[in-house]
């Protein structure tokens, strides 16, 4: 009886452990970006430094990106975005900049998570977009009219001549070729993980980035596969349990 209980208990702990490991993966795509010069974002200019980008609400339709200080304690901006799909998913987290001809902090166009071809294109306030459009080589995403209600506003892209082109927001827009200068980031881990602890050591930063580049990107969550494996393993354990119980004892 004790051997049957040991088998069942071990398998149950395995299933629970695998489920916990899967849940430890962050769902808000938190990513660190380190900028050596100031950069422009909607309504804000970030000084050179290291910042944390994450999804403020992963379940919302018009995704909101939260930009925080490196330690995650100070919120610097809450920025609305729309989906923007590249023809090829990046292997590393990255932001892409709008190409500018002016002497100004480069404006960030969008953010992409590794293994995800659909990223997040930032919506610039209309007045700021009009200024950027005069010094960029491509239209800038903005609202059709000046408004503070970016979450529900009609959108357009505006070029240097000030002519807007209406934008239809799609969850899976047509893929486009990547444009603009790209800068890689570093996927952040949940507090308490080994990678998060290593990030506290400046000397471990480059080692963490090197390790991330050698790992294959994940295009979807592994949770369903982990749970399926756990259920199958548990069923097999129950079968072994009953089989042991049905085995006649020798006298």
- Average pLDDT over every residue of 2-30: 53
Top-confidence residue, 207 or 122: 122
Coil/strand/helix, residue 17: helix
The token duo for 48 is 């050179």
What are the pLDDT digits (tens) for 191-201? Answer: 665 444 443 44
What are the pLDDT digits (tens) for 64-93? Answer: 999 999 999 999 999 999 999 999 999 999
- At residue 87, φ and ψ (nearest 5 deg) are -70, -20
pLDDT at 110: 97
Reference 108, options 150, 87, 77; nearest CA is 77
Top-confidence residue, 112 or 58: 112
pLDDT at 228: 55
> 215-237: buried (b, 16+ CB within 10 Å) or exposed (e) per residue?
eeeeeeeeeeebeeebeeebeeb
pTM greater than 0.75 (yes/no): no
What are the pLDDT digits (tens) for 218-241? Answer: 334 444 454 555 556 655 655 555
Contact 189, 179 (CB under 8 A): no
Q: How far apart are CA 188 and CA 92, in angstroms?
A: 12
Q: Which residues are paired to 51 by β-bridges?
A: 33, 69
- Average pLDDT over every residue of 95-120: 93
- Average pLDDT over every residue of 129-144: 93
Question: Which segment of 4-13, 85-94, 152-161 scores lowest on mean pLDDT?
Answer: 4-13
């Amino acid at each position: 009886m004790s051997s049957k209980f040991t088998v069942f208990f071990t398998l149950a702990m395995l299933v629970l452990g695998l489920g916990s490991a899967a849940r430890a993966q962050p769902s808000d795509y938190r990513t660190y970006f380190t900028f050596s010069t100031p950069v422009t974002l909607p309504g804000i200019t970030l000084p050179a430094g290291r910042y944390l980008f994450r999804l403020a609400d992963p379940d919302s339709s018009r995704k909101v990106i939260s930009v925080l200080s490196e330690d995650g304690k100070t919120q610097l901006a809450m920025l609305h975005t729309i989906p923007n799909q590249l023809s090829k998913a990046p292997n590393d987290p990255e932001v892409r900049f709008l190409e500018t001809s002016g002497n100004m902090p480069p404006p960030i166009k969008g953010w992409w998570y590794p293994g995800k071809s659909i990223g997040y294109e930032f919506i610039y306030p209309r007045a700021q977009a009009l200024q950027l459009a005069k010094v960029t080589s491509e239209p800038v995403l903005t609202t059709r009219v000046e408004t503070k209600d970016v979450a529900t506003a009609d959108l357009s892209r505006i070029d240097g001549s000030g002519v807007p082109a209406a934008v239809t927001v799609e969850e899976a827009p047509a893929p486009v070729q990547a444009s603009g200068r790209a800068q890689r980031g570093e996927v952040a881990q949940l507090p308490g993980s080994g990678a998060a602890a290593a990030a506290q050591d400046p000397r471990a930063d480059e080692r963490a980035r090197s390790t991330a580049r050698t790992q294959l990107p994940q295009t979807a969550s592994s949770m369903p596969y982990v749970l399926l494996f756990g259920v199958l393993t548990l069923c097999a354990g129950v079968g072994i349990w009953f089989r042991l119980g049905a085995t006649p004892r020798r006298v």
